[in-house]
């Protein structure tokens, strides 16, 4: 299967006319709890895009654990290596003001306690592709990447949120997925050492650069944008499926662009990732 080792959060979203100043209280409206976290979102996106997917991560011992687990398993993701650890689940406190600006406080909670042992390590060793992001401890990301690489298993890293990579991690990556800001943070020297690099360009689609150094531009499909939240995760999930199925990397990037574009046409994050049928229909 595609094995995603990463984060899972409950996003707590509320709207207010204007953000409170420090010490101030304002009345808001429209509270929602939405499963999120890049790891979970990408696992769900890959499953919706038609992949066989397992998730390695952790939730806490709180009221969010069950719905977070259910969001993954409901999408068909194997959660046998989703551990329950003492304390709180990962949470993101999100406020959106009347202009659509947001503030976000991420509380990693159980994501800080993700380890690579037992069932998780076994899954990684048996994976067709390992998918990683940077929202769990970097030592765990590095351990998963090096274990996979040592076993000849390809490693797809979505280098988000942006940070520098330990050399050992960078050396284990087969394909990096970055937006333009993340590409700048990693820098050309690091990116040039990675065999395959996919740079997402928002409405302009994506660029793929392979081991031969040639760049291929893949345009996005023009769509009516409703909400770009989750587009990057839908892109990465669909790319993982295309990659795991083998074949032409540029074709996998085209599928990913279609998935990213479709995700912008619906509100929400993980719930906005398109199915394989919807991706096929857009590309037909």
The answer to whether the annotation marks 40 as part of a ligand binding site is yes
* Interaction site with ligand ADP (CB under 6 A): 179, 200-203, 205-206, 220, 223, 225, 228, 231-232, 235, 257, 260-261, 264
**What is the full DSSP assignment across the chain?**
-EEEE---EEEEEEE-SSPPPTT-----EEEEEEEE-HHHHHHHHHHHTT--EEEEEEE-SSTTHHHHHHHHHHTT-EEEEEEE-SSPPEEEEEEE-TTS-EEEEEE-GGGGG----HHHHHHHHT-SEEEE-SSS-HHHHHHHHHHHHHTT--EEEE--S-----HHHHHH-SEEEEEHHHHHHHHHHHHHTSSEEEEE-GGG-EEEE-TT--EEEEPPPP---S--TTHHHHHHHHHHHHHHT-S-HHHHHHHHHHHHHHHTTSSSSGGGPPPHHHHHHHH-
CB of 62 to ligand ADP, least distance (A): 28
Q: Is 233 a catalytic residue?
A: yes
41 is in an annotated binding site: yes
* Least Cβ distance, residue 180 to ligand ADP (angstroms): 7
Cα separation, 154 vs 172, whole angstroms: 9
Q: Is 280 annotated as a binding residue?
A: no
Min dist. Cβ of residue 198 to ligand ADP (A): 9
Task: Output the CA angle 124-210-229, nearest 5 degrees.
Answer: 65
Does the annotation list 141 as a binding residue?
A: no
Q: Which is nearer to ligand ADP, 64 or 208 (CB)?
A: 208
Nearer to ligand ADP among residue 140 and residue 206 (C-beta): 206
Catalytic, out of 78, 117, 188, 233: 233
Judged by beta carbon, residue 22 or residue 100, the one nearer ligand ADP is 100
Beta carbon of residue 173, minimum distance to ligand ADP (angstroms, whole number):
17
Q: Is 244 known as a binding-site position?
A: no
205 in a known ligand binding site: yes
- Which of residues 125 and 202 has its CB atom nearest to ligand ADP in the complex? 202
Which is nearer to ligand ADP, 1 or 230 (by Cβ)? 230
Taking the complex as a whole, how short is the minimal distance between the CB of residue 221 and ligand ADP, in angstroms?
7
- Residues of each annotated binding site: 9-11, 37-41, 135, 179, 200-205, 227, 229, 232-233, 263, 266, 268, 272
- Residues of each annotated binding site for K(+): 227, 229, 263, 266, 268, 272
- Catalytic positions, please? 233
């Amino acid at each position: 299967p595609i094995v995603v080792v990463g984060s899972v959060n409950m996003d707590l979203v509320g709207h207010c006319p204007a953000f409170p100043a420090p010490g101030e209280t304002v009345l808001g409206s429209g509270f929602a709890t939405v499963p999120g976290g890049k790891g979970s979102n990408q696992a769900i996106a890959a499953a919706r895009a038609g992949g066989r997917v397992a998730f390695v991560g952790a939730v806490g011992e709180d009221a969010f654990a069950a719905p977070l687990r259910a969001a993954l398993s409901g999408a068909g993701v194997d959660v046998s290596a989703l551990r329950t650890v003492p304390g709180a689940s990962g949470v993101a406190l999100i406020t959106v003001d009347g202009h659509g600006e947001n503030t976000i406080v991420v509380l990693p909670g159980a994501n800080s306690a993700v380890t690579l042992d037992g069932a998780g390590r076994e899954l990684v060793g048996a994976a067709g592709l390992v998918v990683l992001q940077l929202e769990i401890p970097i030592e765990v990301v590095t351990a998963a990447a090096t274990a996979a690489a040592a076993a000849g298993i390809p490693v797809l890293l979505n280098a988000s949120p942006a940070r520098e990579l330990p050399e050992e991690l960078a050396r284990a990556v087969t394909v990096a997925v970055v937006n333009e800001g993340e590409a700048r943070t990693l820098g050309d020297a690091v990116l040039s050492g990675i065999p395959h690099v996919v740079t997402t360009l928002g409405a302009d689609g994506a660029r793929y650069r392979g081991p031969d150094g040639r760049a291929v531009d893949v345009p996005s499909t023009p769509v009516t944008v409703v909400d770009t939240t989750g587009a990057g995760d839908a892109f990465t999930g669909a790319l993982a499926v295309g990659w795991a199925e083998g074949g032409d990397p540029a074709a996998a990037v085209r599928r990913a662009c279609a998935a990213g574009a479709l995700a912008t046409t619906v509100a929400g994050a993980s719930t906005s990732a398109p199915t394989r049928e919807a991706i096929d229909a857009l590309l037909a």
